[in-house]
Amino acid sequence: MSEATVGAQLGVARRGFLAGAAAVTGTALVSTASVGTARAVGARAEVGAGTGPLAFTHVTVIDGSGASPASDMTVVVEGDRITAVAPSARIRLRPGTRTVDLTGKYLMPGLIEAHTHSDGPETVVPALYALTGVTTVREMRGEPVHHEWRRKIRSGELLGPRWVIGSPIVDGTPSLWAADVGPTIEVADAAEARRAVRRVKREGADFVKVYSRLSRESYFAIADEARRQGLPHLGHCPDTVRIAEASAAGHRTIEHLHALLLATSRHEKEIRRLLDAVRIDPNDPSSLSRYHSWFQQVHPLEWRAVQGYDRGLSDALFRSLATHGTTVVPTLSVHRTLELPDDVPTRAEDWKYLPAWQVESWPDQLAALTGGRTPEQKRQIRGIYAHRLRLVSELHGMGVRLAAGTDTGTGYLVPGFALHDELALLASAGLTPAEVLHAATQDAARTLGLPDVGTVARGQAADLLVLDADPLGDIRNTRSIHGVVVDGRWIPPEERRHLLAAVEKSAAQTPPPEEGAAMKGCGCGGHP
């Protein structure tokens, strides 16, 4: 392989770490699998098809509402809906109802992943979510491919989750994102901000994704225009806007925990002055370079914020967030990767479901983003991460809604599997398993505006996860997957293993992108 080709692959992977997993426009990463593999992970008719009602009997139901688990229950699915949930001893099944005996198993709502940047082969990414029990996904930087995947999933051509798809990132100028990771909408004033909102609505976005470098004028114009257009606005709280102001303006969800450090510190005014002085080079064509520079300037400010943490300020802010219904998506997974890089694994079983060349590039990209830290800086950044866990616990304690999301698309995070790790991280922040599950089911559904998912109840969508072990006893048991129901399609254990093997084969067959291929990527994984 030529040096130029290696360099091109490394460049793609570098952008992928920042912007989400690498994705090449055209067919380089979408159509590499064989027809047989594509069918294996695709159409509804291939697996689990059947007509008439399907009853899951003698199972313990964890319904997602926070109620105590109910043992020896039967859940009936007809088409794409749950039509009955009742004790097995009392329910009468219609003649011709197929039954699946789930004695000793646990049935719960499918998981909801509230923060992703999904890029990669069509025969890999959508199916991975579904097969890991992630039946709903919120895409935080929408691209045409995501709308195409959603169309195919809805028509039954492709196995995958429900998809809520955001706009391109709408940021100030210059943005932290250079052109090497795909389109970003940069707005300089209120008029441009309003035009951006109207544009993304025409393009079919489900929400407006706002970002950190927006001016106050632009941000509040977006908030007002989004309200007029009937679109939620959400994402990063801009550096120029206080969280309480954003929450009052209808900011639906705050992504990551960066802005919360500033807003809960008695040093906020001082840090805001220093933050105003942070600069990036608008002529720098590399998002990687821009972000490395940004980290170097902002981490000391975050440490200063932690040193000035004020519980009274945090309680007042968190009460305000709860009052206004603002949800926080902590994305502890990406915080851990970027703030505890010495702790990331050297290999994991889940990585086999992504192209090897992509996985092998992760260590170099992580080093490029986090390298050069002194021992004292490493100590401080570990302290920042520990403080983030504390904030998650306090947010929950004050009644702020949390939704589970990972920033999948960043290195070391595999679609679907990463959410199970995020659940364990939320538990490490002090939430009980039941509270963690709520953040990945009913609370996430409310956050995404999806009233018919997130719980096991009559009339709800038939998106279900069946486990071999009790997740209320140990949240890590969400990985003990027996089978899944995706939009009414039952995928039992043997078929699930077959489909995962097909995904693994497709990933192995995906070649590195060609030199000079156009790039599309998106994400906010590293932004402070």
Q: What is the DSSP string of 166-229?
A: EEEEEE-SS-S--GGG---EE--SHHHHHHHHHHHHHTT-SEEEE-TT--HHHHHHHHHHHHHH
DSSP code, position 515: T
Checking if the pLDDT of 518 tops 60, the result is no
What pLDDT is recorded for position 85? 98
Task: Give the pLDDT band of residue 418 (cuts 50, 70, 90).
Answer: very high
Checking if the pLDDT of 28 tops 50, the result is no
Is the CB of residue 206 less than 8 Å from the CB of residue 164? Answer: yes
Mean pLDDT of the chain: 88
| Separation between Cα atoms, residue 285 and residue 251, nearest integer Å | 31
Residue 355's alpha-carbon distances to 42, 362, 366, in angstroms, are 19, 12, 18
What pLDDT is recorded for position 526? 43
Higher pLDDT, 424 or 289: 424
Question: Peptide bond preceding 174: is omega within 30 degrees of 0, i.e. cis?
Answer: yes
Task: Give the pLDDT band of residue 50 (cuts 50, 70, 90).
Answer: low
Q: Is residue 172 left, alpha or beta, with left meaning phi > 0 and alpha meaning psi from -120 to 50?
A: beta
CA 247-251-254 angle, to 5 degrees, is 90
| Separation between Cα atoms, residue 113 and residue 70, nearest integer Å | 25
Most confident of 256-270, 290-304, 504-518: 256-270
Please name the residues in contact with 131: beta carbons below 8 A apart, sequence gap of 6 or more.
159, 416, 484, 491, 496, 499, 500, 503
Is the CB of residue 519 less than 8 Å from the CB of residue 179? Answer: no
Mean pLDDT of 442-468: 98
- Report the range of poorest mean pLDDT among 129-138, 168-177, 280-289: 280-289
Checking if the pLDDT of 44 tops 70, the result is no
Q: What is the pLDDT of residues 67-114, one digit of tens each?
A: 999 999 999 999 999 999 999 999 999 999 999 999 999 999 999 999
| Separation between Cα atoms, residue 45 and residue 314, nearest integer Å | 52
What pLDDT is recorded for position 119? 87
In 3-state terms, what secondary structure has residue 85?
strand
Does the pTM surpass 0.85? The reply is yes
What pLDDT is recorded for position 523? 38
Mean pLDDT of 112-122: 95
Q: With pLDDT > 90 as the criterion, what percentage of the chain qualifies?
A: 76
| Separation between Cα atoms, residue 462 and residue 427, nearest integer Å | 27
Residue with tokens 């096991």: 456
Query: CATH assignment of 3-520, given 3.40.605.10, 3.20.20.140, 3.40.220.10, 3.40.50.300?
Result: 3.20.20.140
Can you give the residue ranges of every domain in the chain? 3-520
DSSP assignment of 53-84: -EEEEEEEE--SSSPPPEEEEEEEEETTEEEE
Higher pLDDT, 358 or 48: 358
Joined together, the tokens standing for residue 104 give: 């000793």
What pLDDT is recorded for position 448? 98
| Separation between Cα atoms, residue 427 and residue 439, nearest integer Å | 11
Checking if the pLDDT of 33 tops 50, the result is no
Is the CB of residue 171 less than 8 Å from the CB of residue 185? Answer: yes
What pLDDT is recorded for position 182? 74
